Structure 1
């Protein structure tokens, strides 16, 4: 597993522990101001951290399922299965909300292929209630892929460990980010 470093996200308004070897997608292509996107250099794993307007469902499980289904729709997924939803409480005593976490799998067809790629989705939702915003962290981990970049069991486990480290360490330093 790659060593972890604390990264400043959104100009330092958020910090989180992430693998040191990640590639910042903004160095390769344009990324919207509402997103931070990183890629693993040796696989097809990507990480998207996104600031969104708070979605309507108020129950935490319904809210994260809404975000999961939205990604499935955006990816034209032919299947989307939720394996588990849980809460990782923030017990540090700061103002960062607790994380609602979802583990799931989506079947995503790529490049007009008939056989979809199998992509494990690790998702965390931080509801910033007083700013009516949702901060969503998504790891896309391909485990079956027609064009390579997929990871095996060991890579899946390492990505999950990295996801959990990021989620447990994520700290909102400046709430003005959520204007």
Structure 2
């Protein structure tokens, strides 16, 4: 099946980029934080998240905790933003190192992309549905929790002059897919990030004022 993408305005048109064709703007379904844009697959639990976050200086990034991570080889800023997603008990494995990439429309801006897997243990609360990043529960632990694995394909654009880190996470829950379907969904995620490297453009820099 061909993978296609469609142009998409983010933050009222201040940023332009792409999303997978026919994906749903989550703001039409529920309230989304102002710093975030969230798009949902109409057929799976996969999602694409774009966040405008505060720029993390090198010294602060280097001091970020790493207890959740199985590798310390990541760029400090990448490690900081990955750690920021973690809940207590979550574990990360870096599948591909954070490669520095050249943004086609912002060639002088440092940017990094890569792929990690998060394993989380979510305990059921009485009367509440178990939730995790991506929303997929993969199985039970010996202690009665639900363990989930989510692939996270990421792009981090470092806008130092604007005091901003522009972060993209493409989340692929493993539980709902068979091996071939998971491979195809991972391919979609990889292509989504590569496409954003080529298309992501800041039209109104006043967004960061």
- Aligned partner of 2:34 in structure 1 is 33
- Aligned partner of 1:18 in structure 2 is 19
Contact 2:24–2:40 (Cα < 8 Å) also in 1? yes
* Structure of higher CA gyration radius: 2
In structure 2, distance between residues paired with 1:77 and 1:12? 38
In structure 2, distance between residues paired with 1:126 and 1:81? 21
- Does the alignment pair 1:90 with 2:120? no
Give me the CA root mean square deviation.
Answer: 2.2
The answer for unaligned runs of 5 or more in structure 1 is none
**Which residues of 2 match residues 92-107 of structure 1 at below 5 A?**
92=105, 94=106, 97-107=109-119
Q: Mark the CA change 1:57 to 1:102 in structure 2 (over 3 Å): closer, same or farther.
A: farther
- Aligned partner of 1:62 in structure 2 is 76
Contact 2:4–2:21 (Cα < 8 Å) also in 1? yes
In structure 1, distance between residues paired with 2:89 and 2:162? 31
| Deviations 1:76-134 (CA, angstroms, capped at 9, x unpaired) | 45311122110111344x47724211210000234635241110111111111111111
In structure 2, distance between residues paired with 1:126 and 1:90? 9
User: Alignment length, in residue pairs?
Assistant: 173
Tell me the SS of whatever aligns to 1:136: strand
Q: Mark the CA change 1:166 to 1:77 in structure 2 (over 3 Å): closer, same or farther.
A: farther
In structure 2, distance between residues paired with 1:71 and 1:133? 17
- Aligned partner of 1:109 in structure 2 is 121
The Cα shift of 1:7 comes to: 0.6
In structure 1, distance between residues paired with 2:82 and 2:3? 27
The Cα shift of 1:13 comes to: 0.7
| 4+ long deviations beyond 3 Å | 148-151
The Cα shift of 1:149 comes to: 6.7
Q: Mark the CA change 1:85 to 1:23 in structure 2 (over 3 Å): closer, same or farther.
A: same
- Aligned partner of 1:53 in structure 2 is 54
The answer for unaligned runs of 5 or more in structure 2 is 62-73, 125-139
In structure 2, distance between residues paired with 1:174 and 1:165? 21
Candidates 150, 173, 176, aligned match of 1:142: 173
TM superposition score normalised by structure 2: 0.74
Contact 2:104–2:198 (Cα < 8 Å) also in 1? no
Contact 1:35–1:48 (Cα < 8 Å) also in 2? yes
The Cα shift of 1:162 comes to: 1.7
